[in-house]
């Protein structure tokens, strides 16, 4: 017999039992619980048809149309879910934990499976993540000018047992005009939020977590206000790494053959660079003088970062001088300093 589980219990059980998202493919693509499988009751077009029937003729006739659509699919739906089930168990959810999830749970149970439902559905899951992001966590913000290798340092800290959240990794974007170069396509903002929620729920809230100093948006992905506000109040460890060292790192990161991407990024910040410097940078790019491009770009980004840092409480900013680009050594040094 299926049970309706609260979101926390549903997610706890999902560590060993697969989640079946029975919403339409379009709903799933817009945003879903990480690692959930999509076995839709209706296609996007079918869902739209049922919705129109509901508005035109009411619930009874909408249900009748739904049954006509789903009837021929029943055997295939069961085959799909049996390939995924673990120990003959699955977890099921739809948008609000209503008719779609209840119908699919009934079908799966008829086929010999145990199918528990998430109370309130995906909508309740989203509300639960929003609530959890309000939790206060001891936090350290790793700051520093562009090209400091902050993400690599975070990953080295993680190897040494520190908790981190790699926001840029989740967003597939490094946060600047150049941020999409060399990255996978970005998730939707909704999916970024869900993926962030998964990372957040895995934290021990009694231990500190490291995050990189970010602006509120990274491409089309925005940091939820509850987390961003907490980040802005946290202590910043500002890495002071020589500009020439950072230029070399940027060349390694971005001079990967995507000349068009680099040109588009320079064009986007051309007004901020100033007409003359933008022209020099574009000419240097055409001549494959990537160090010159990095040098000019950093003149703008360094000023922008310094301005942003000036808005913070100076007592909350600790500067650590780093002479070389060695993320592993930097991580060790930060831990030796007792930061």
Q: Kind of pairing, strands 217-218 and 221-222?
A: antiparallel
Task: Residue 71: give its domain's CATH number.
Answer: 3.40.250.10
The pLDDT confidence band at residue 64, using thresholds 50, 70 and 90, is: confident
Mean pLDDT of 48-62: 73
Residue 71 clears pLDDT 70, i.e. is over it = no
Is residue 124 domain-shared with residue 155, that is, in the same domain?
no
Catalytically annotated residue among 94, 141, 165, 262 = 94
Cα separations (Å) of 62 from 21, 51, 66, 101, 315?
A: 21, 7, 6, 16, 62
Is residue 125 domain-shared with residue 227, that is, in the same domain?
no
pLDDT for the residue numbered 66:
65
The pLDDT confidence band at residue 332, using thresholds 50, 70 and 90, is: very high
The pLDDT confidence band at residue 63, using thresholds 50, 70 and 90, is: low
Prediction pTM value: 0.92
Contact (Cβ atoms closer than 8 angstroms) between residue 25 and residue 40? yes
pLDDT for the residue numbered 252:
93
Residue 339 clears pLDDT 90, i.e. is over it = no
What digits encode the pLDDT tens for the residues 161-204? 999 999 999 999 998 889 999 899 999 999 999 999 999 999 99
The residue from 88, 115, 130 where one domain ends is 130
From the number of C-beta atoms within 10 Å of its C-beta (0-12, 13-18, 19+), residue 131 rates as exposed
Cα separations (Å) of 95 from 32, 52, 126, 300?
A: 10, 18, 10, 45
What tokens appear for 271 in the block?
């007004």
Residue 68 clears pLDDT 90, i.e. is over it = no
What digits encode the pLDDT tens for the residues 112-146? 999 999 999 999 999 999 999 999 999 999 999 99
pLDDT for the residue numbered 193:
98
Assess whether 221 carries a catalytic annotation.
no
Mean pLDDT of 221-249: 97
Q: How far apart are CA 152 and CA 164, in angstroms?
A: 11
Contact (Cβ atoms closer than 8 angstroms) between residue 164 and residue 211? yes
The residue from 92, 113, 130 where one domain ends is 130
Tell me the residue range of the domain where 91 lies: 4-130
Is residue 186 domain-shared with residue 79, that is, in the same domain?
no
């Amino acid at each position: 017999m299926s049970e309706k589980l609260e979101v926390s219990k549903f997610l706890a059980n999902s560590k060993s039992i697969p989640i079946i998202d029975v919403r339409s493919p379009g709903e799933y693509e817009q945003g879903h619980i990480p690692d959930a499988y999509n076995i839709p009751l209706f296609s996007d077009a079918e869902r739209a048809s049922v919705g129109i029937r509901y508005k035109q003729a009411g619930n009874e006739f909408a249900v009748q149309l739904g049954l006509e659509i789903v009837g021929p699919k029943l055997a295939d739906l069961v085959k799909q879910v049996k390939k995924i089930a673990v120990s003959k168990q699955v977890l099921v959810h739809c948008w609000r934990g209503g008719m779609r999830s209840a119908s699919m749970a009934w079908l799966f149970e008829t086929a010999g499976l145990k199918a528990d439902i998430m109370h309130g559905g995906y909508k309740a899951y989203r509300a639960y993540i929003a609530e959890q992001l309000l939790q206060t966590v001891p936090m350290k913000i790793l700051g520093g000018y562009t090209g400091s290798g902050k993400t690599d340092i975070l990953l080295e800290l993680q190897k040494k047992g520190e908790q981190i959240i790699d926001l840029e990794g989740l967003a597939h974007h490094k946060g600047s005009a150049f941020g999409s170069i060399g990255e996978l396509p970005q998730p939707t903002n909704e999916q970024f939020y869900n993926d962030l929620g998964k990372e957040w729920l895995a934290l021990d809230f009694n231990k500190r977590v490291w995050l990189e100093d970010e602006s509120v948006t990274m491409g089309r992905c925005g940091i939820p206000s509850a987390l961003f506000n907490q980040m802005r109040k946290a202590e910043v460890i500002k890495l002071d790494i020589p500009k020439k060292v950072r230029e070399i790192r940027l060349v390694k990161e971005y001079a990967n053959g995507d000349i068009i991407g680099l040109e588009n990024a320079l064009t986007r910040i051309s007004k901020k660079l100033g007409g003359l410097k933008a022209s020099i940078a574009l000419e240097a790019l055409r001549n494959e003088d990537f160090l010159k491009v990095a040098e000019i770009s950093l003149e703008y980004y360094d000023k922008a970062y310094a301005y942003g840092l000036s808005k913070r409480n100076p007592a909350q900013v600790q500067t650590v001088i780093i002479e070389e680009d060695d993320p592993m050594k930097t991580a060790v040094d930060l831990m030796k300093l007792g930061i």
